[in-house]
Amino acid sequence: MGGFKLENLCYTPPMRPIRSSDIGTYLYCRRSWWYRKQGTPSDNLSELAAGTELHKQHGRRVLASGLARTVGLILLLAAVILLVAYCTAQVV
């Protein structure tokens, strides 16, 4: 039987991973998603660049607030330890 192989019946080509941005684009505007999938260039490049910059700024703010929270918790812990040490020294 020539080139017939059983494993060829079950072969499916690998799919491109689906990204959350693809889902977001599809849910927001199906036509935009379709154009992007077809490789059609966008007409609103300046708006896309502004949105990318906005996301970068937001990411930096989230990182900075997490760092500030961690430093605050460390300082609070240090203050509690110093308070306990001071109170213990007063009792003795």
The CA-CA-CA angle for residues 20, 26, 30, to 5°, reads: 165
Widest distance between CA atoms in the chain: 96
pLDDT in 10s for each residue of the chain, 92 residues: 556 666 666 667 777 788 888 888 889 888 888 888 888 888 888 988 898 899 999 999 999 999 999 999 999 999 999 999 999 999 87
Contacts of 33 (CB under 8 A, 6+ apart): 22, 25, 26
d(CA 83, CA 91): 12
Does residue 2 fall inside a structural domain? no
Residue 1 in any domain: the answer is no
Q: How many domains does the chain have?
A: 1
pTM for this model (two decimals):
0.53
Sign of the four-CA dihedral 73, 79, 80, 81: positive
Q: Classify residue 11: in a domain, yes or no.
A: yes
